[in-house]
Amino acid sequence: MQGASPELLNPFLSPGFTQAVSRARPDTRVAVLEDGGQVAGFFPFQQARMRIALPLAAGVSDGQAVVHRPGFQWGPLELLTACNLDVWEFDHLLSSQIPPVQRATRQRAAADCARVTCRDSPIIDVSGGFEAYAEHQRQSTRRSFRTTLYKERKLAREIGPVRITFDAADANGLRLLLQWKSAQYRRTGRRDRFATGWIERLVWDLFGHAQHGCDGTLTVLRAGDRIVAAHFGLRSATSLSCWFPAYDPALARYSPGLILYVRMAEAAAEAGLGHLDLGKGDEIYKQWLKTHDLTVGEGALYRPSMAAIMHGARRMPVRYASGFVLRHQRLRRVARRTLARVGRIRSAA
């Protein structure tokens, strides 16, 4: 089914990812959709209380959808009723499954069974090869690409020759990456995802086992013998989903994270991948690196019920406030500064 629909070739929708999550979380579920006695699709989700379905691996999944054969039609109310659910919440719903009114208006859905907002998800397109991507970046108004290459040369002169290992079997490198990432979460005032045990178990599982349609891929950037940046992502036959990047903060002046992404794009192109999915968000580095944006949906499908009403009352004000901040650049900057201040206080404590 994934092979027949290119948009579904997302590692977060693969059997391998679902099976790995099920080993880390016992509340993993997969609904099997049938048509005329034949399997027509699959709906993976995380079972929460009050008949609410969350995304599989909620909080770290960058792709959600019903995986089905081409041409199969399904309805939100029918799906929820059959699964004994009142709400399906998502934050990276594939664009083809966003209610049609959403794609036309890019506003909150007017449909009775949906509340969805469209978000941009930046993409690095390397389908034409790395040189085509590099030329695209040189021709853009952003100077970050040339600056990154200059800093790469400076890093090589002052620290040591720069080299990248794509799909590295380096457990120590992954361990260092997780330490850096945890420290970054704390430093920037965000929740440390790796303080949640199942997320770290999931990463190590995906790193250590062959999966179906989802290869855990560690990329390590070195200057001389020193690891300066690393990234752990999920790879399908056509793309690399960028998941957990981190770098040595002592070398921040060289922008090792940007160097890592540029060389990772080059390695991905050499491996025959078509694009790197940077994930939803408007972080500055994503705007510098991207070639274009895809659209994903954030919100919920629901059927009329008390659980759905309570869910909406709890979640919609938070989403509205978050969306309001994201739509205003000045408020985004204030929010980031506030988070950084919180992070400094927390680190000092």
pTM: 0.85
pLDDT tens track for 21-79 = 999 999 999 999 999 999 999 999 999 988 999 999 999 999 999 999 999 999 888 99
- Helical segments of the chain, H only: 15-24, 76-82, 100-105, 130-139, 144-158, 171-187, 197-208, 256-270, 284-289, 306-326, 329-348
| Per-residue pLDDT, 281 | 86
For the structural domain made of 6-120+294-348, what CATH number should be given?
3.40.630
pLDDT mean over 97-121: 65
Give yes or no on whether 6-120+294-348 and 124-293 have one common fold. yes
Residue 210's pLDDT band, with cuts at 50, 70 and 90, is confident
Cα of 19 vs its chain's centroid, Å = 18
Q: Can you say how many angstroms the Cα of residue 316 is from the centroid of all Cα atoms in its chain?
A: 22
CB atoms within 10 A of CB 71: 9
Instruction: For residue 123, give the amino acid letter.
Output: I
pLDDT-derived band at 108, boundaries 50, 70, 90: very low
Choose among 291, 309, 292: nearest CA to 300.
Answer: 309
- Between 98-107, 162-171, 338-347, the lowest mean confidence (pLDDT) is in 98-107
What residues contact 275, with CB distance under 8 A and at least 6 apart? 123, 124, 125, 126, 127, 238, 239, 240
What number does CATH give the domain 124-293?
3.40.630.30
Residue 190 has pLDDT above 90, yes or no: no
Residue 93's pLDDT band (cuts 50, 70, 90): very high
Whether pLDDT at 296 is above 60: yes
Confidence of residue 110 (pLDDT cuts 50, 70, 90): very low
Query: Would the CA dihedral through 340, 158, 131, 239 be positive or negative?
Result: negative
- Would you kindly state where each structural domain of the chain is located, as residue ranges? 6-120+294-348, 124-293
Q: Are 276 and 242 in contact (CB under 8 A)?
A: yes
Q: Residue 303 to residues 29, 75, 78, 112, 150: CA-CA distances in angstroms?
A: 19, 11, 9, 8, 55
Closest CA to 267 of 167, 199, 340: 167
Query: According to the model, what pLDDT value does residue 115 have?
Result: 81
Per the listing, tokens 């699959």 go with 42
